[in-house]
Amino acid sequence: MQKSIYAEAIIQQTNSSLTMEEVIKLIEKPRFKEQGDLAFPCFLLAKTMRKAPQKIAEELAAKIDHPLFEKVIAEGSYVNCFLHKQTVSKRIIDAVLAAGSAYGSHSFGKGQSIAIDLSSPNIAKPFSMGHLRSTVIGNSLAHIAEKCGYKAVRINHLGDWGTQFGKLIVAYQRWGSEEKVRQAPIKELLALYVKFHKEAEKDSSLNDEGRLWFKKLEEGNEEAESLWKWFRDESLQEFSKIYELLGVEFDSIAGEAFYNSKMEEALEVLSAQNLLSSSQGAEVVDLEEHDLPPLLAKKSDGATLYATRDLAAAMYRQEQYHFSKAWYVVGFEQTLHFKQLFLVLGKMGYKWADEMDHIPFGFVLKDGKKMSTRKGEIVLLEEVLNEAVQLAEGNIEAKNPSLANKQQVAKMVGVGAVIFHDLKNDRQNNVEFSLEDMLRFEGTTGPYVQYTHARACSILRRSALEVGTESSAGLTDETSWAVAKLLMEFPNIIEKSFYQKEPSAIAKYVLELAQEFNKYYSQVKILADDSEQESRLALVKAVTIVLAEGLRLLGVKAPIEM
C-alpha cells in the first residue's frame, strides 16, 4: 500500500522506464530505523539518467512530496522515506481490522489449481520425525497458495508398492505372528523389516526371495495381495491418528499402487514419441543432452519402476485436476529423479511440465546423523506429539490451573510447538531433533507466539471498549509505530513465502511481530483511560488478527487463552 505510493512518486519524478512492479521490488527496509521506513536504491537509474547514483538520490529527495511522507532524505545512493506515523498507522490498522483474517490475501492465483504432493510415508513403516518435514512444509505451502488465490489440491502419494513389500512378506512368513501384528501393527511390522535387513546381511539369498515375492504381488498372487492389503489398511489407520493430531487433510491418498493400471499409457506415449531406447535389456529415456543419466522406464525383467509410476501419476493429476502448477515436497535425495521426470514429461509434449517444481528440504538429524528405518534408528512422531501435549498440559496446570478446555489448549500448544520448530528453519537446512528445544515455551518457539496472541486477546477482554472495524486515530509513539510497520509487511511476506516456497518466512515474521508487540506491551499502558486508548486497542486487535492468521498459514492453532 505505502510502497505503491512511494514507487509512484519515484516514477513520476524520474520518468523512469522501470515499471511500478520493478520499483516496488527495489524498495527495501533501511538497515536502521533511524534511517527511515522505506529506501529506494538509485543504482539502476544511473545508466539512463547519466548521473551518479548519489546525485540522483539528492535530486529525488528534494522533489518527492506526499501527505503520507513526513520527510524524504538522500542517504548515499539511497532515497529514504520517513512515513507520517499518525496517518499511516491509522491506515494500516484500519486495513487489518476491515479485512480481518483475509488481510494479506492476494488474488494472483486466479482460482487455478496447484497440485501439492506432500507427506507420502511408506506403509508398514512407522510415521517418524523424518516424515514430519514433508507433511508440515507441504501443508503450510498449501495454505499459503490458497491465501494467494489458488485452489490447493493436497496429495498424499503413499509409498505402498515396491520391492520392500516383497521383503516384508518374506519376513512375516518366516518370523511373523498374526496376533502380534494385530496388537501393535506398525511396531511389529517395523521389527520384521529391521530383522529382514539384519538377516540379509548374513544371507543375501533373502533379497532374491524378497524380489520374487514382490513379482508375485505384481502378478496378483492371492497370498501376497492379501498380506499387502492387510499391511496397508493397518498403516492407514495408524497414519490417520497422526494426521488428525497435526490437523492435516488430503484431497487424494492414491499411492503408488493406484497407478499400476495407468503405467501402460505412459509407456505408450513414450513409445509413440520414439523416446524409448534399449540399454542392457531395459528400456530407458536418454537424457545425455542434459548431462543426466537416462530415466529407467522398464527393467530387463519387464517390471516397471517408480519413475514410470510418477510419469503416470503426473499425467493422471493433470487430467483430473487441470493444475496450473505442481509441487513435489520431497527431500533433497530425490533431486535427480525429479529433474529426469520433468524433462521426460516435457519431451512427451506436455507443456504443463514447465510448471512443475521439486521443493526439496533438509533432513531431520538425530545426534548429527540422518535417521534410518532399516536400522531402526528413528524417533516416532506420534510419541513426540503425545509427549509435547503432555508437557504443555503440565505447564498449563502449573501456570493457569483454572483454564477452561485445558486439554484442548495443551493439544494446540504441544502440536503447534513441534510444527513451528520445523517451519522456523529454512526448509533447505537440516533440522537437529531436540525435544528440549522444540518444547521450550520461551524464545523463538511456537508457544511464545501463541502466548503473545493469547496475551493480546486477554487485553481486549479486559477492556470495556469494543474495537470496531476502524480505529479512531493513528498512534505516534515509536513502539506502536514499530508494530504498525510490521503489520504493513504481512501481505509482502505472504507473497515472498509463496514465490520462494518458504514457510519459514512467515514463521520468522510472526516471531518478530510477537517480539515487537511484547516490547510495546511492556512499555505502554494500553488500558490507560485517555484519548488514545481506543487507538491502542485497535492496534492490539490488529496484532491478534495477524498473529492468528500467520500461525494458521503454518498449520498452527492460536489459542485465545493459555
Instruction: Please state the domain extents for the chain.
Output: 2-83, 118-370, 381-554
Q: Which residues pair with 75 in a beta bridge?
A: 78
What is the DSSP code string of 407-431? HHHHHHHHHHHHHHHHHTS-TTS-E
State how far the Cα of 102 lies from the Cα of 96, in Å rounded to an integer.
8
Q: What is the pLDDT of residues 45-78, one digit of tens each?
A: 998 899 999 999 999 999 999 999 999 999 999 9
State how far the Cα of 265 lies from the Cα of 188, in Å rounded to an integer.
38
pLDDT at residue 176, rounded to an integer: 95
- Let me know: does 287 contact 296? Beta carbons within 8 Å: no
Q: Is the pLDDT of residue 304 over 80?
A: no
Q: What is the pLDDT of residues 392-407, one digit of tens each?
A: 999 899 989 999 999 9
Q: Which helix (H) or strand (E) holds 302?
A: none
* Alpha helices, DSSP H, located in 109-160: 129-147
381-554 CATH, one of 3.10.310.30, 3.30.70.960, 3.40.710.10, 1.10.730.10: 1.10.730.10
pLDDT at residue 133, rounded to an integer: 95
pLDDT at residue 437, rounded to an integer: 79
Neighbouring residues of 328: CB distance < 8 A, sequence distance ≥ 6: 117, 334, 338, 356, 357, 358, 359
Give SS3 for 281: coil
Evaluate whether the domain defined by 2-83 bears CATH number 3.90.550.10.
no
Q: What is the pLDDT of residues 356-367, one digit of tens each?
A: 999 999 988 877
Q: What is the pLDDT of residues 236-248, one digit of tens each?
A: 988 999 999 999 9
Phi, psi of 154 (to 5 degrees): -90, 120
Neighbouring residues of 452: CB distance < 8 A, sequence distance ≥ 6: 514, 517, 518, 547
State how far the Cα of 411 lies from the Cα of 414, in Å rounded to an integer.
5
- Residue from 10, 84, 9, 82 nearest 42 by CA: 10
Q: Is the pLDDT of residue 373 over 60?
A: no
* Residue pointed to by grid coordinates 518366516: 174
**Domain covering 118-370, topology:** Rossmann fold (3.40.50)
Q: Is the pLDDT of residue 542 over 70?
A: yes
- Let me know: does 412 contact 419? Beta carbons within 8 Å: no
Q: What is the pLDDT of residues 472-523, one digit of tens each?
A: 677 889 999 999 999 999 999 999 999 999 999 999 999 999 999 999 999 9
pLDDT at residue 367, rounded to an integer: 75
Distance of CA 257 to the CA centre of its chain: 27
Computed on alpha carbons and rounded to an integer, the radius of gyration of the chain in Å comes to 28
State how far the Cα of 513 lies from the Cα of 66, in Å rounded to an integer.
28
- C-beta neighbour count of 542 within 10 angstroms: 26
State how far the Cα of 198 lies from the Cα of 374, in Å rounded to an integer.
9
- Residue from 104, 44, 93 nearest 539 by CA: 93
Q: Is the pLDDT of residue 192 over 90?
A: yes
First to last CA, the chain: 34
Phi, psi of 492 (to 5 degrees): -65, -35
Give SS3 for 451: helix
Tell me what percent of the residues of the chain surpass a pLDDT of 70. 98
pLDDT at residue 375, rounded to an integer: 60
pLDDT at residue 371, rounded to an integer: 66
- Let me know: does 448 contact 511? Beta carbons within 8 Å: yes
Tell me whether strands 276-279 and 151-155 are parallel, antiparallel or unpaired. unpaired
- Let me know: does 27 contact 40? Beta carbons within 8 Å: yes
Which band of pLDDT confidence, cut at 50, 70 and 90, is reported for residue 220? very high
What is the DSSP code string of 501-516? T-THHHHHHHHHHHHH
Burial label, 108 (beta-carbon count in 10 A; 0-12, 13-18, 19+): exposed
State how far the Cα of 430 lies from the Cα of 442, in Å rounded to an integer.
22
Which band of pLDDT confidence, cut at 50, 70 and 90, is reported for residue 382? confident
* Domain 2-83 matches domain 118-370 at the CATH topology level: no
pLDDT at residue 414, rounded to an integer: 94
Q: Which residues pair with 155 in a beta bridge?
A: 117, 252
Which band of pLDDT confidence, cut at 50, 70 and 90, is reported for residue 368? confident
Which band of pLDDT confidence, cut at 50, 70 and 90, is reported for residue 89? very high
Q: Which of 93-102, 275-284, 430-439, 512-521 has the lowest mean pLDDT?
A: 430-439
- Residue from 145, 198, 47 nearest 190 by CA: 198
Give SS3 for 365: strand
Q: Which three cell numbers stand for residue 436?
A: 528440549
State how far the Cα of 488 lies from the Cα of 103, in Å rounded to an integer.
10
Mean per-residue pLDDT of the chain: 93
Q: Which helix (H) or strand (E) holds 446?
A: helix 446-462
Q: Is the pLDDT of residue 432 over 70?
A: yes
Q: Which residues pair with 356 in a beta bridge?
A: 326
